[in-house]
Amino acid sequence: MALRFRTFIRLMGFQVTKQIKKSTHLVSRRAVALGVATAPVALAAAHAQGGRDNPFRSQAEWSPGFDADSRLRVPRATTPLLSPQTVSATEQAIIQYRQLAASGGWNTVPGGRTLKLGTRAPAVAALRQRLTVTGDLARSAGNSPVFDSYVEAGVRRFQTRHGINPTGVVGKETFTALNVPVQERLRQLELNVVRLKSFSGDLGSRYVALNIPAAALEAVENGEIVSHHMAGVGKIDRQSPVMQALARDVNFNPFWTVPASIIRKDLIPKMQKEPSYLTDNKIRIFNRQGQEIQPSTVNWNSMEATQYMFRQDPGGDVNSLGFIRINVANPHGVYIHDTPAKGIFGDDYRFVSSGCVRVQNVRDLASWLLKGAGDGGWNRDRIDEVIRSGKRVDVKMAQNVNTYWVYMTAWADRDVIHFRDDIYRRDGISRGPAVAQSPNPVQPAADAEQADLPPAGLPQGGVQQRPLRPINYR
């Protein structure tokens, strides 16, 4: 009997998982603040009711159309992170979490084994209780020790709010997030609402906001998000800086000039192990006279290589900048760019660069930034044509665009409360320094991928729409 039940659960899970993959958000945005998860509530009610008015009467839980109801879908947010609406929603989240803390917070979920669809264990009952407290699972879902599709949907909801790949499987990372105490989450919200309020002024009619802990970027125009982009940001020991700056121009098919820090830390060790690495990756060496020299003439067992310039040929297949570089005027020497390693955008952990920011769908971002530039602007067709040509083309923006690189580890979007890991340990409340995980000390942001500067003669001026204020978080 137990074997049949487990088989039934697996079959049910297989069908429901196919539907869940259609959308990573299955429940209402009001779920967290109200303590109600819409999808589990609706589905549980469907099973409990058998009347004519029940819209799910003829559908089993695993039916292919069970998530087709528009009420179960959550549209992508159009409210910017840096907005009065986010401040207000975060203040409401603080009230909610203070109430949660006063009532004892939530239980811990015992680890020790992965929890997934079909698992039967006491830890699943604890997981149900934990998800219910924060509204990721409806109370009507009960306290069964069986990990069913309701629990899986609740886990996906929780994972999405915490920046974890929404697999619906509870592994080490999800266990850790589940067991962060309510007091720590409350402190995160209180700290970050102060950061959010520092951006309560006029940020510009068009601007770019990068949230480093979320490794995500958004383009904002007239108070609404026009595009979302996953990002790859600085490693723990090569951090992306918190800053406000101006985006000025875009380079198509750029060269990449390797910074001295990367020559020392990466290229020299790489060449000691793989003598063909530079040739394979189309990286050329030039001496101080601008003459190209061969890798075989360099002593790779010394620091001789730091005396030369290393430049990678254009080409999105190997060039570290991909096809596009967006120049941002700043003292740290960092910028926004494409990447040939598109796979990073599907990872949870996107702290992979030496300080610069790699952007998913960067062609769309470049087209938006270059609106009105040159003769008729730059749409995707024109950008694609230039990239196919393989020629280096530099385009000045019609107007400089304000760019904000911020550090927010907690915020609320409407009624959904989001948390991210304090990856650079700037909050001062997390347990254990992140830097200790890295064998190298933290480097200043100026030691980043800065060397491919705009060519001589490219205008560096432009209209600054408004003065930019310094960021002081602490």
CB within 8 Å of 121: residues ≥ 6 apart: 113, 115, 145, 147
pLDDT of 197 over the 60 cut? yes
Task: Name the band, by pLDDT with cuts 50, 70 and 90, for residue 76.
Answer: low
Task: Name the band, by pLDDT with cuts 50, 70 and 90, for residue 314.
Answer: confident
Contact between 282 and 318 (Cβ < 8 Å): yes
Residue with the bigger pLDDT between 163 and 78: it is: 163
The pLDDT assigned to 339 comes to: 87
Task: Give residue-wise pLDDT tens across range 406-416.
Answer: 999 999 998 79
Contact between 286 and 309 (Cβ < 8 Å): yes
Report how far residue 233's alpha carbon sits from residue 124's, in angstroms, rounded to the nearest whole number.
35
pLDDT of 68 over the 60 cut? no
pLDDT of 18 over the 70 cut? no
Once rounded to an integer, what is the mean pLDDT over residues 82-104? 96
Report how far residue 171's alpha carbon sits from residue 357's, in angstroms, rounded to the nearest whole number.
28
The pLDDT assigned to 273 comes to: 94
Task: Name the band, by pLDDT with cuts 50, 70 and 90, for residue 292.
Answer: very high
The pLDDT assigned to 374 comes to: 78
Residue with the bigger pLDDT between 330 and 17: it is: 330
The pLDDT assigned to 344 comes to: 79
Which class for 189: exposed (0-12), middle (13-18), buried (19 or more C-beta within 10 A)? buried
pLDDT of 424 over the 80 cut? yes
Closest by alpha carbon to 305, among 265, 341, 273? 265
Q: How many CB atoms lie within 10 A of CB 298?
A: 17
> What is the b/e burial string over 148-168, where b = at least 16 CB atoms within 10 angstroms of the residue's CB?
bbbbbbbbbbbbbbbbbbbbb
* Main-chain phi, psi angles of 238, to 5 degrees: -140, 70
Task: Give residue-wise pLDDT tens across range 346-381.
Answer: 777 888 888 899 999 999 999 999 998 877 779 999
- Which DSSP helix (H) or strand (E) runs through 152? helix 149-161
Residue with the bigger pLDDT between 176 and 445: it is: 176
The pLDDT assigned to 34 comes to: 32
Q: What percent of the chain has pLDDT over 90?
A: 61
Query: Which CATH fold would you assign to the domain 2-53+106-180?
Result: Muramoyl-pentapeptide Carboxypeptidase; domain 1 (1.10.101)
CB within 8 Å of 128: residues ≥ 6 apart: 137, 141, 142, 143, 144, 151, 154
Does 202-255+314-447 match 2-53+106-180 at the fold level?
A: no
CB within 8 Å of 455: residues ≥ 6 apart: 394
The pLDDT assigned to 431 comes to: 57
pLDDT of 102 over the 60 cut? yes
208-222, 276-290, 430-444: the lowest-pLDDT one: 430-444
139-143, 170-174, 352-356, 417-421: the lowest-pLDDT one: 352-356
**How is residue 260 written in tokens?**
């001295």
Residue with the bigger pLDDT between 428 and 430: it is: 428
Task: Give residue limits of the domains in the chain.
Answer: 2-53+106-180, 202-255+314-447
Task: Give residue-wise pLDDT tens across range 198-238.
Answer: 998 899 999 999 999 999 999 999 999 999 999 999 999 88
Contact between 466 and 404 (Cβ < 8 Å): no
Largest alpha-carbon pair distance within the chain? 85
Once rounded to an integer, what is the mean pLDDT over residues 107-118? 95
Task: Name the band, by pLDDT with cuts 50, 70 and 90, for residue 75.
Answer: very low
Task: Give residue-wise pLDDT tens across range 315-349.
Answer: 767 778 889 999 999 999 899 999 887 877 877 78
Answer yes or no: CATH 2.40.440.10 is held by domain 202-255+314-447.
yes
Beta bridge partners of 249: 327, 396
Please give the full DSSP string across 162-225, using - where no structure is assigned.
Answer: TT----S-B-HHHHHHHTS-HHHHHHHHHHHHHHHHTT-S---SEEEEEETTTTEEEEEETTEE
